[in-house]
Amino acid sequence: MIYYGAHGDDSAGNAYPDCSPEFNKAIGDAVFIGSGEQLKVDAPFVGFPKSEVVRTGLELNAPYHLTWSCYEGGDKACGTCGTCIDRKKAFEANGVSDPIEYA
């Protein structure tokens, strides 16, 4: 099984077409066929908003301090790109602060 972290907010408005349920099905079918029916692809959060992904991770004690969302690069997340803003909002929606440091 191959898991990837696509979530519903990323596919909204076709911002990231590779995060849509349609892409997940298509790539899943291709990988399954191409692997001789040995591998499957799953995006368990494809229908969830980012806040629900964060909630699930908090319940599982995910090491969020080791994760990264920023598209700008650098030693610290920029805090101002779209993915940084979405990440901060997802943590705020769960009543907690994002554990990473921002530039």
Helix, strand, or coil here: 77?
strand
Interval 6-18: pLDDT, tens:
888 776 666 778 8
Q: Same structural domain for residues 30 and 73?
A: no
Q: Same structural domain for residues 33 and 73?
A: no
- Phi first, then psi: give them for residue 36, nearest 5 degrees: 65, 35
Other Cβ atoms within 10 Å of 22 Cβ, number: 11
Q: Same structural domain for residues 35 and 3?
A: yes
Interval 57-103: pLDDT, tens:
999 999 999 998 888 888 899 999 888 999 999 999 999 999 998 98
Q: Same structural domain for residues 25 and 57?
A: no
Range of the domain at 73: 50-103
Q: Same structural domain for residues 34 and 82?
A: no
Other Cβ atoms within 10 Å of 84 Cβ, number: 21
- At residue 82, the pLDDT reads 85
